[in-house]
Structure 1
Amino acid sequence: MTYKTLQLDTSNWDLTLDGSGDLAIASDGYATAQDVASACLVFSGECYYDNTLGIPWKEDVLGKRPSPGFIAQKMQNEALKLPNVDQAIASVFFDKNTRTTRGAIRITDVDGNTSQATL
């Protein structure tokens, strides 16, 4: 099964064009990784077409001190809501020097293909 989605420009997370001037289309592993990254970046209740989607960033993360495991679990749960994702394993770590949080999520789709999204 080929999985496709509109490709986003990674610098501004907006639609992009292909070499012919048409909307760019991402497929298979890249499409899955991009959709998982999008799902993990959505704030709970802010997805226009389905307000049950999203991570409770405002309620449970920002201004709090959640564990990396807590954030990883939330990201995995969002990834598994996508119909083509079979498995998702997230890893999150805090850099105390720069006060930033970084993470990655490894995805296995329903066809057994793996890809990774870095957040």
Structure 2
Amino acid sequence: MNSLYLNPSTWDLAVDASGNIAVCEDPYALAQNAATAVRTFLGECWYDTTIGIPYFQQILGHLPTLQYVKSQMAAAAETVSGVVSAQVFITGFTNRQITGQLQITDSTGTVSAANF
């Protein structure tokens, strides 16, 4: 599967050497799609308000355990078609922003990672 490549620093579209919108291929594309699911707030997607992480409802402004946050992130990543399992590593919490890495395993057993 191919996906539009998102610049890991800005999580915005990027261009390739020819000036075209950059794309990425599996296994990174699958990891990036799973990381996008981790960044999705519950109710944010107007076409399906049931997907996403309950950041406003249960995380932001509340005192959840780190394990709860990581389990919500892993569960969101596992909703992406092709992801069999996901593991979340939190690498920082600065200015109220969580950063980390998501490692996913696909149906072929390939492990790939993307930062969030």
Q: What TM bracket, shorter-length normalisation?
A: 0.7 to 0.9
Instruction: Kindly indicate whether structure 1 or structure 2 has the higher relative contact order, using CA contacts under 8 Å at least 6 residues apart.
Output: 2
Q: Say if 1:86 and 1:110, in contact at 8 Å, map to a contact too.
A: yes
- Moved runs in structure 1, 4+ residues, more than 3 A? 91-95, 97-103
Call closer, same or farther: CA 1:4–1:94 in 2, change over 3 Å. closer
Q: Give the Cα separation in 2 of the matches to 1:33 and 1:66.
A: 25
Q: Say if 2:2 and 2:25, in contact at 8 Å, map to a contact too.
A: yes
Q: Give the Cα separation in 2 of the matches to 1:11 and 1:99.
A: 17
Q: Say if 1:71 and 1:92, in contact at 8 Å, map to a contact too.
A: no
Percent identity (aligned): 36
Residue pairs, 1:80-119, within 5 angstroms: 80-92=78-90, 101-119=98-116
Call closer, same or farther: CA 1:91–1:53 in 2, change over 3 Å. same
Structure 2 unpaired stretches of 5+: none
Aligned residues: 116
Match of 1:44 in 2: 42
Call closer, same or farther: CA 1:20–1:103 in 2, change over 3 Å. closer
Q: CA deviation at 1:116?
A: 1.7
More moved, 83-92 vs 64-73: 83-92
Q: TM-score w.r.t. structure 1 length?
A: 0.84
Deviation by residue 1:38-87 (Cα, 9 ceiling, x = unmatched)? 11011101013322111011111111111111011101111111111011
RMSD of aligned alpha carbons: 2.1
Q: Say if 2:40 and 2:53, in contact at 8 Å, map to a contact too.
A: yes
Q: CA deviation at 1:10?
A: 2.1
Q: TM-score w.r.t. structure 2 length?
A: 0.86
Q: Give the Cα separation in 2 of the matches to 1:6 and 1:98.
A: 28
Residue pairs, 1:46-65, within 5 angstroms: 46-65=44-63
Opposite residue 73 of structure 1, the aligned amino acid is S
Q: Give the Cα separation in 2 of the matches to 1:118 and 1:15.
A: 15
SS of equivalent to 1:46:
coil
Match of 1:24 in 2: 22
Q: Say if 1:68 and 1:93, in contact at 8 Å, map to a contact too.
A: no
Q: CA deviation at 1:16?
A: 1.4
Structure 1 unpaired stretches of 5+: none
